[in-house]
Every structure is written in C-alpha cells, then in structure tokens.
Amino acid sequence: MHAPLPLSPEALAAVTPLLERPAAPGAAVAFDADGTLWRGDVGEELLRELIARDVLPRWRGRRDLYEVYEAKVAEDPATGYAFAAEVMADWEEAALQAYCRDFFQRQMAPQLFPFTQPLVRALAGAGYEVWVVSASAVWPVVPGAAWLDVPPARVIAVQVEVEGGRLTARSRRPVPAGEGKVELLKALGVRPVLAVGNGNLDEPMLAYAERALVIAPFGQDNGLVKAAGRRGWPVQRG
C-alpha cells in the first residue's frame, strides 16, 4: 500500500487506477514542468538572474534583455522560448550545468508543489517511466527532474547545438511547446498513459495521452482549465 496522495478527489480518481495495477513495460507518464511540478517558471527565473548578474557572454550590459524575450514570446511563444536558450551562447555547457544545479536548489526546490514528489514517486514505484516535457531551457530543468529521480535521458526541453563544449545560438527544433511536445514524444515512441500540465500550450500533450490531469492555481482559470471542463479532465489546484 502506498501512502495517501495529497490530491483532490477528482485527481485521485484519475491517478488511482494507474497505481492499482502493475505498469505495462514501457508505460510512461509525462509532466510539464513550470507551474505543474513547481510554482513559477524555472527558465524565466534563470534568465532574470543571469541578466541581473550580467553574465551572458554575448549580451553584457543589455539590461533590457528580459523585455526583448517577453516581446518575442508575445509574438510567437516557441520562438521566444528558443531565444531564452539561445542567449546562453558561448557559455561552457559544463559550467552552466553546475550553475543550474545550484540555482535550482536555491530558487526552485522550495517551490515544488506538495503533491509533486509523492505523485511522481508513486507512479515511478508502480513501474511507469516518468518524463518531464518543458518549454524551458534544458539546463535548469534537468536539476529539477533530478529532485524527482527522473534521469536526464527522460527530460525533453529546449536545447541548442554544442561545439567544443560551448553552447551555440542555434536551437534545436521543434521547440517542446504546444504541438512540439507531441511531436517530440512521438519521435521517441512515447504515448503517455497520463499527461499532466498547467498551461494552454500543454493541451495538445494532454489530448495525445490516454489520460490527462490539469494543474491550476486556486481561483485562477486559464484556457486549459476551460478545456478541462469541456473534455472532462480532472483539475488539481496547487
């Protein structure tokens, strides 16, 4: 018997059947990251910190860089999310990975939702492969996944090409946002038995999965919550 999960009754009703029987070989669950596993946006928080510390090699002195990013997201979210990774160009990848491990522990680990670790561990304990699928840059998402014992090989996030150990400004496509999440999961041969997300751009991934669970702040209903009402998906408030 696993300990009771800190979930709403409707969320429990969606998850419990998966825990009552052994997972089939290769059965997977997919979680969005920002606003789903933790409060806030790990990629945006990292970008703000790097701008404040003026440590982006190609963008030194550009205090307006976050506004540039926001404008790109407003015009086309996928392009904006890719840009947030592209601005890391010329960092040594190993150095950024180390920075992000410290960053996540300092800034984001306290923001994990109370249900996150129990839910992920229960699903993994039942034999499901847990995936994290995020439109944030991969370097801060990997440490977040590690907090949940999800290996880097099962993290899908925005990446750039690396040359000689240094990051370039050439992002890989598709960007894991909207239909891009589904495209990348399909390329890996993964159709989740459960997908969990919180934002409008998670709807395609949730629709692709066999089951869906929506995470939403108390008192706030975005487009995905409205879609959940239409589609009969359960909602977990966090």
User: Per DSSP, which regions of 24-165 are E strands?
Assistant: 28-31, 129-137, 155-158, 160-163
Query: Is it the case that residue 193 has pLDDT exceeding 90?
Result: yes
pLDDT over 90, % of the chain: 94
Note the pLDDT tens digit of each residue in 182-191.
999 999 999 9
Query: Is it the case that residue 174 has pLDDT exceeding 90?
Result: yes
> What pLDDT shows up at residue 219?
73
Distance from C-alpha of 135 to C-alpha of 183, rounded to nearest angstrom? 13
> What pLDDT shows up at residue 3?
66
> 3-state DSSP call for residue 92?
strand
Structure tokens at 179: 């239909």
pLDDT bin (cut points 50, 70, 90) of residue 1 is very low
pLDDT bin (cut points 50, 70, 90) of residue 148 is very high
Question: Domain residue spans in the chain?
Answer: 9-237
pTM, to two decimals: 0.95
Distance from C-alpha of 161 to C-alpha of 168, rounded to nearest angstrom? 6
Query: Is it the case that residue 215 has pLDDT exceeding 90?
Result: yes
- Taking phi over 0 as left and psi of -120 to 50 as alpha, with beta for the rest, 13 belongs to alpha
Query: Is it the case that residue 31 has pLDDT exceeding 90?
Result: yes
Query: Hey, CA dihedral for 147, 148, 151, 156, is it positive or negative?
Result: negative
First and final C-alpha spacing in the chain? 25
Q: What average pLDDT does the segment 14-33 reach?
A: 95
Question: CATH number of the domain at 9-237, please?
Answer: 3.40.50.1000
Note the pLDDT tens digit of each residue in 41-50.
999 999 999 9
Sequence-distant (6+) residues with CB within 8 A of 157 are 33, 132, 133, 134, 135, 136, 137, 138, 141, 142, 176
DSSP string, 176-203: SSTHHHHHHHHHTT---SEEEE-SGGGH
Query: Is it the case that residue 233 has pLDDT exceeding 70?
Result: yes
Distance from C-alpha of 220 to C-alpha of 123, rounded to nearest angstrom? 27
> What pLDDT shows up at residue 217?
81
Structure tokens at 125: 């304990």
